[in-house]
A and B are shown apart, each in its own frame.
Chain A
Amino acid sequence: MPGFSATTFLVGSTTLFFCFTCPWLSEYISFVIPIYVAVIFLFTLANFCMATFMDPGVFPRAEEDEDKEDDFRAPLYKTVEIKGIQVRMKWCSTCRFYRPPRCSHCSVCDNCVEDFDHHCPWVNNCIGRRNYRYFFLFLISLTTHIINVFGFGLVYVLHHRHQLDTPHAAVTMAVMCVAGLFFVPVAGLTGFHMVLVSRGRTTNEQVTGKFRGGVNPFTNGCTRNISHVLCSSQAPRYMGRQRSPLTMDVQPPFLRPALTEAQLEAKVLDNGIQNDRHSTRSKSSLDQTESQSADAEPPPPPPPPKPELRYPGLPRADTEESSLLTEAPPTPSMFKYRPAFNSPGRNHTALTHPNKMIRGESLDSPSPTILQSSRQSSYRSEPSSLDGTTVVGGGMGARRGGGERGEGPGGPGGTAGMISGGMSGYSLTGRSYTSYPSSLVLSAGGSRSSSLRSAQTAHNPLTTLQSEGTTDTSYKSLANQTPRNGSLSYDSLLTPSESPEFESAVHELSPQKPRAPFPSATVTGQHDRVSPSSPLQGYTSPFLSAQIAQQREGQLLQGSATFSSPHRAYLRADSSRAPRHLSSLSSSPRSFEPPISPPPRGLSLGKSPSYIVEVGPQHKPRPAGGGIVLGGGGAGGGPQAPQSTSRPVLANHTTSKPGGGVKKVTGVGGTTYEISV
């Protein structure tokens, strides 16, 4: 709408100017005037069209294979050093990669845009790397054009002071009014962008205050910045490119490099273990993450390895586990966001990644298979809509997956389904549980984009529930607490209000992490009652007490991301009972199949609700990923006693698990994970 009206005003006013004012001007003053005005007008139009129709620099979605290296345990942020300054790259759950510096995800266009400036409603397009120049020139030329029109109209009017009742004069005055009206905002915007260009900043960076008082690593000096904007070669398109038509035939036998002496020695000495590690280690990105993080900051102490939680049976478990455990967490600062459970509005679909480190600290029992399967399934089935169901991750270390706020509907659900289906017998490990209910975050309904989506997913209480307590979101929101301008399509992260609580809860819970093995069937029955109002989630678990169910419904209906203390208290009490939906989820066959949008890997608590439904009723369903997470998180803060009591409760509801022994581990937030041993 604004785009259309902008075009109308521009073209209409100029046409009137040419028809009514210019004849007199060319006759009595100079014939050059209309030509000059016409040239400027054409230049304005050309830049307007380029700004409107040109691809701003959209990144194509990452392929599935690229995703594997950043599994659900990967952190929400990756830090990179740019000219000595630490810059964080956030994981984009929609596009499935870590956003390059200066890249941002536009919720209107639902794309990550390179060098994202802002989303301009007047041209109805994002302004990014490729079309910023045209947008800038459009502003300059439009300002000039308005000045021209106003100025020459004024000349006309002054000469016809005594003939103002003629239609020509009247039209000229009307055009002058329009021009005058638009001059103020346009000139203001032009001046603003001139300052931005000279400083080498984008609107996004300026408005979010990224470099307020700090140093901008992207600036090269005023002259260079200006020349970069105006004189650099047109950046290439990434979307819609023709794939290289040249095919390559890769045929064995393959050449291999000769092993060096050291390598041979290592081979001999390690009995092949070293090689196994190498060969099974298909996560090259992990290496890079390591190196990057090494560059960025001194790595925090690695999470304690939990060898007892490893499942040798899982082919990838070792790889992931070892890589995860040996990998230094990329950003120590992640810790401080850990407990952030609250994540009110997660505006954009980015996933919150629970900090890898934090996750590692919680139960680390890897369920790589689950994760992988969940990841894969959720990845494939991920629709863009936010369903807040990021929960899917089944709370599996939902680093990324969990973090998905309102990302794709059914993302969590899907994952959950998958997980439960695929991983029966594997309880969601603490990882998924993690103190960052990234899943919660995912469902955060508060986010702008999610609000859009939640409209779509109104039926899905998960969204609302999840929005209540997503830790990851809050975690992310803590990170980005800049004010969000409505006209700018930034991800707005609502400042979590519950984070302090969650943090305390987390801390309290963390010591509880290691747990004696629980009966495997933890949550079988309860999931059914988890979702009273959501058909998708099937939160309702038949075993839930009426009170809980009632409360749950209250939660579900809340739909807001805020955690109230009573709510929290409820959660606490509840958490003990349903330590981990996830575990239950994993044990029961999946019953629902919502599309899973959130990253498959992260199974955050938020996701667990979806699981719960499927799983046994045993656990109290954690309806809103958020709510539950909070419960989990909050529960952490809550008394420990309930947890112990929950165990016997859990024990009673042993679900049949394909796995043999099942170890129950309590994760952060009081959720218990079942680890099949």
Chain B
Amino acid sequence: MAREFHNLQELRHNASLVTKVFVQRDYTEGTVCRFQAKFPSELDHRIERTLLEETVKTLNSYYVEAEKIGGQSYLEGCLACATAYIVFLCMETRYEKVLKKISGYIHEQNEKIYAPRGLLLTDPVERGMRVLEISVFEDRGSSSSSPSSSMSSAGSSAR
């Protein structure tokens, strides 16, 4: 663009969603919520392996904590029974509390690690805990190798 009178917005590079990479669930230990630690090859040149693996490991540990059957969950159940489940209207269950923590963690990870690399994690709970969705963005100024028009429906466009 040789013109001089473009405003900053036009000159700014926009990022567009190129593709989404999905980290699937790891069912080797049953239906416990776990995600595969396998690094998807599409992200090879986008992010360091260790970072993503660390994120997935932390998420897995959060889910283990959420689904733990121990004192707190037992007491919660008893209380709920005793109050004919009315307590669910007032109180947040253990799982929900952990989900909130997870959501905060994902946001923090996105802010610190993924957004600077043009990636975006989506909270798995929005996908029914089936996949961990990683949206891959490309600088619109640069050519993207795969057509991304079909991806336009995705909501997480950078800009």
Q: Interface on A for B, CB 8 Å cutoff? A: 42-43, 45-46, 49-50, 59-60, 62-66, 68-69, 80-83, 87, 97, 100-102, 114-115, 134, 137, 217-218, 220, 227-228, 230-236, 238, 241, 243-244, 246, 248-257, 259, 263, 275-276, 278-282, 284-285, 287-288, 291-292, 295, 315-316, 319, 372, 376
Query: For the complex, what is the distance from the CA of A45 to the CA of B85, rounded to whole Å?
Result: 11
Shortest beta-carbon distance from B72 to chain A in Å: 8
- B34-60 residues at the A interface, CB under 8 angstroms: 36, 38, 40-42, 44-48
Among candidates A50, A68, A82, residue contacting B27 with C-beta atoms closer than 8 Å: A82
Interface size on B, residues (CB 8 A): 80
- Are the C-beta atoms of A250 and B158 separated by less than 8 Å? yes
Residues on B with C-beta less than 8 A from A102 are: 31
Residues on B with C-beta less than 8 A from A275 are: 45
14 residue pairs bridging A and B, Cβ less than 8 Å apart: A65-B150, A80-B27, A100-B27, A101-B31, A231-B69, A233-B76, A234-B93, A235-B95, A236-B93, A251-B115, A281-B42, A284-B40, A284-B42, A316-B147
Residues on A with C-beta less than 8 A from B130 are: 59, 62, 97, 100
Among candidates A83, A100, A248, residue contacting B107 with C-beta atoms closer than 8 Å: A248
User: Which chain A residue lies CB-closest to B13?
Assistant: A252
- Are the C-beta atoms of A256 and B141 separated by less than 8 Å? no
Shortest beta-carbon distance from B121 to chain A in Å: 9
Q: Mark B110-141, 1 if CB is under 8 A from A, else 0.
A: 11000111111001011111110100010111
- Are the C-beta atoms of B67 and A232 separated by less than 8 Å? yes
Q: A64-B153, A233-B94 are in contact. List 6 more A-B contacts (CB 8 A).
A: A231-B73, A234-B88, A241-B125, A251-B158, A253-B139, A282-B42
User: Which chain A residue lies CB-closest to B44?
Assistant: A278
- Are the C-beta atoms of B117 and A254 separated by less than 8 Å? yes
Among candidates B47, B48, B84, B133, residue contacting A43 with C-beta atoms closer than 8 Å: B84
Shortest beta-carbon distance from B56 to chain A in Å: 13
Residues on B with C-beta less than 8 A from A45 are: 84
- Are the C-beta atoms of B107 and A66 separated by less than 8 Å? no
- Are the C-beta atoms of B77 and A230 separated by less than 8 Å? yes
Among candidates B42, B48, B117, residue contacting A278 with C-beta atoms closer than 8 Å: B42
- Are the C-beta atoms of A253 and B99 separated by less than 8 Å? no
Among candidates A66, A233, A238, A257, residue contacting B93 with C-beta atoms closer than 8 Å: A233
Among candidates B40, B95, B139, B146, residue contacting A252 with C-beta atoms closer than 8 Å: B139
Residues on B with C-beta less than 8 A from A137 are: 81
Most chain B C-beta atoms within 10 Å of own C-beta, residue among A253, A259, A319: A253
Question: Given A65-B151, A100-B130, A256-B45, are A50 and B85 also a contact pair (CB < 8 Å)?
Answer: yes
Among candidates A69, A232, A233, residue contacting B22 with C-beta atoms closer than 8 Å: A69
- Are the C-beta atoms of A249 and B115 separated by less than 8 Å? yes
Shortest beta-carbon distance from B82 to chain A in Å: 10
Question: Given A231-B73, A251-B15, are A66 and B145 also a contact pair (CB < 8 Å)?
Answer: no
Query: For the complex, what is the distance from the CA of A81 to the CA of B24, rounded to whole Å?
Result: 13
Residues on A with C-beta less than 8 A from B116 are: 254-255
Residues on B with C-beta less than 8 A from A97 are: 130
Among candidates B13, B107, B137, residue contacting A246 with C-beta atoms closer than 8 Å: B107
> What 4 pairs across the A-B complex have the smallest Cβ distances?
A250-B158, A254-B118, A279-B145, A252-B139
- Are the C-beta atoms of A282 and B45 separated by less than 8 Å? no
Query: For the complex, what is the distance from the CA of A238 to the CA of B124, rounded to whole Å?
Result: 10
Query: For the complex, what is the distance from the CA of A638 to the CA of B32, rounded to whole Å?
Result: 50
User: Which chain B residue lies CB-closest to A134?
Assistant: B85
User: Which chain A residue lies CB-closest to B98?
Assistant: A233
Query: For the complex, what is the distance from the CA of A163 to the CA of B19, rounded to whole Å?
Result: 81
Question: Given A250-B137, A254-B137, are A291 and B38 also a contact pair (CB < 8 Å)?
Answer: yes
Q: Interface on B for A, CB 8 Å cutoff? A: 13-15, 18-25, 27-31, 36, 38, 40-42, 44-48, 66-69, 72-74, 76-77, 80-81, 84-85, 88, 93-96, 99, 103, 106-107, 110-111, 115-120, 123, 125-131, 133, 137, 139-141, 144-147, 150-151, 153-154, 156, 158-159
Among candidates A83, A227, A233, A287, residue contacting B40 with C-beta atoms closer than 8 Å: A287
Query: For the complex, what is the distance from the CA of A381 to the CA of B39, rounded to whole Å?
Result: 34
Query: For the complex, what is the distance from the CA of A80 to the CA of B25, rounded to whole Å?
Result: 10
Among candidates A42, A63, A217, A292, residue contacting B24 with C-beta atoms closer than 8 Å: A292
Residues on A with C-beta less than 8 A from B93 are: 233-234, 236
Query: For the complex, what is the distance from the CA of A288 to the CA of B21, rounded to whole Å?
Result: 10
Query: For the complex, what is the distance from the CA of A529 to the CA of B151, rounded to whole Å?
Result: 38
- Are the C-beta atoms of B139 and A87 separated by less than 8 Å? no
Among candidates A115, A244, A281, residue contacting B103 with C-beta atoms closer than 8 Å: A244
Question: Given A228-B69, A231-B73, A250-B120, are A238 and B128 also a contact pair (CB < 8 Å)?
Answer: yes
- Are the C-beta atoms of B120 and A248 separated by less than 8 Å? yes
Residues on A with C-beta less than 8 A from B111 are: 248
Query: For the complex, what is the distance from the CA of A295 to the CA of B128, rounded to whole Å?
Result: 24
Query: For the complex, what is the distance from the CA of A496 to the CA of B13, rounded to whole Å?
Result: 57
Most chain A C-beta atoms within 10 Å of own C-beta, residue among B22, B72, B93, B129: B22
Residues on A with C-beta less than 8 A from B151 are: 65
Residues on A with C-beta less than 8 A from B115 are: 248-251
Query: For the complex, what is the distance from the CA of A250 to the CA of B155, rounded to whole Å?
Result: 12
Question: Given A252-B13, A256-B45, are A83 and B128 also a contact pair (CB < 8 Å)?
Answer: no
Among candidates B18, B21, B69, B144, residue contacting A232 with C-beta atoms closer than 8 Å: B69
Among candidates A69, A236, A292, residue contacting B96 with C-beta atoms closer than 8 Å: A236
Query: For the complex, what is the distance from the CA of A233 to the CA of B120, rounded to whole Å?
Result: 29
- Are the C-beta atoms of B145 and A276 separated by less than 8 Å? yes
Among candidates B69, B120, B145, residue contacting A280 with C-beta atoms closer than 8 Å: B145
Among candidates B36, B67, B76, residue contacting A288 with C-beta atoms closer than 8 Å: B36
Residues on B with C-beta less than 8 A from A64 are: 150, 153
Question: Given A250-B15, A252-B13, are A257 and B46 also a contact pair (CB < 8 Å)?
Answer: yes
Residues on B with C-beta less than 8 A from A232 are: 67, 69, 73
- Are the C-beta atoms of B153 and A65 separated by less than 8 Å? yes
Most chain A C-beta atoms within 10 Å of own C-beta, residue among B46, B76, B118, B119: B118
Question: Given A43-B84, A316-B147, are A278 and B45 also a contact pair (CB < 8 Å)?
Answer: yes
- Are the C-beta atoms of B146 and A259 separated by less than 8 Å? no
Query: For the complex, what is the distance from the CA of A281 to the CA of B85, rounded to whole Å?
Result: 49
- Are the C-beta atoms of B85 and A100 separated by less than 8 Å? no
Shortest beta-carbon distance from B36 to chain A in Å: 7
Query: For the complex, what is the distance from the CA of A377 to the CA of B16, rounded to whole Å?
Result: 22
Residues on B with C-beta less than 8 A from A243 are: 126
User: Which chain A residue lies CB-closest to B131?
Assistant: A66
- Are the C-beta atoms of B107 and A115 separated by less than 8 Å? no
- Are the C-beta atoms of A257 and B24 separated by less than 8 Å? no
Query: For the complex, what is the distance from the CA of A244 to the CA of B104, rounded to whole Å?
Result: 9
Residues on B with C-beta less than 8 A from A100 are: 25, 27, 31, 130
- Are the C-beta atoms of A288 and B107 separated by less than 8 Å? no
